[in-house]
Amino acid sequence: MKNLKILLIEDDLIEVMKFKRAISSLGLNHQLIEATNGEDALKILEEKDNIPDIILLDLNMPKINGIEFLSILKKDNTLKYVPTVILTTSSNQRDLLACYEIGIAGYVLKPLKYEDYVQKIEKLLAYWSINELKKL
């Protein structure tokens, strides 16, 4: 299993804490880049030598929301190859369909229970660790 460079775009501090605590309790050595909103994320992604292997994206964000961010990403000739997994509370079918239409690599609902959350993150990262990704 290789280590991934993960860009987590999440505005909720506790959610970020949850993710960090999850990977550390799982003993995983992935590299984490944090962005609290879409604008920050786009700035980070401008550095072409620091492109992440995978992006985890929350949909409900201030300023540029998740779907808008996704659209910008998919129009970029380099960034469109970065698999983006939605990590959200929204079970709204419209959001789900809109995301798949633009192009996403997964749609994961955040569960209530922390234990469930840890399990989901474990499986998600395990899956992307065994995937072949574009060399950037």
Partner 1 sequence: MSQNQVDILKRALAREKSARKQAEKILEHKATELFEVNEKLKKSNIGLEKLLLRTDSQLQGVFENIVDAYVIIDLSGNILKMNEAAVSLLGFKHTKEDFNLIKMVHFSELKRVQESFKILFDEGSITDFNVNLITKDKQSKIVHINASIIYDEGVPVAAQGIVRDITKEKAHEEQLIASESRLSTLILNLDSGVVLEDENRKIVLTNNKFTELFNIDIDPSELIGQDCLASSEQNSALFKSPEGFLKRMREVDEKKEIVIGDELEMVNDKILERNYIPIVQGDQLKGYLWTFKDVTLNRTYRKSLEVEKQKYYSIISNMNLGLIEVDLDDRILMVNQSLVKMTGYSEKELIGIKGKDILPLKKDEDILKQKLRERKQGKTESYELRIKTKAGEIRHWLVSGAPNYNIKGEIIGSIGINFDITEIKNLQLQKESLLKKLEKSNDELHEYAHIVSHDLKSPLRSIYALTTWLKEDNKDKLDTASIQNFDLIESTLEKMEQLITDILKYSSIGSDEHDKVHVDIDTILKDLLEINYTPNHIKISVQNELPIIWGNKTKLQQLFQNLISNAVKFIDKEEGFIDICFEEFENHYQFSVKDNGMGIDEKFHDKIFKIFHSLNKRKDSTGIGLSIVKKIVELHDGEIWLESTPNVGTTFYFTLKK
The residues that touch partner 1, with contacts defined as CB under 8 A, are 12, 14-15, 17-18, 21, 60, 88-92, 94-95, 110-115, 117
H/E segment holding residue 118:
helix 114-129
Q: Which is nearer to partner 1, 5 or 18 (CB)?
A: 18
Residue 72: CB minimum distance to partner 1, A:
22
Q: Which is nearer to partner 1, 11 or 44 (CB)?
A: 11
Residues 31/4, Cβ–Cβ less than 8 Å: yes
Residue 14: CB minimum distance to partner 1, A:
4
Residue 110: CB minimum distance to partner 1, A:
6
3-state secondary structure of 136: coil
Which residue bears the tokens 């604008």?
Answer: 39
Which residue bears the tokens 């569960």?
Answer: 111
Residue 3: CB minimum distance to partner 1, A:
25
Residues 108/85, Cβ–Cβ less than 8 Å: yes
Q: Which is nearer to partner 1, 77 or 91 (CB)?
A: 91
CA distances from 121 to 7, 107, 128 (A): 14, 12, 11
Q: Which is nearer to partner 1, 18 or 74 (CB)?
A: 18
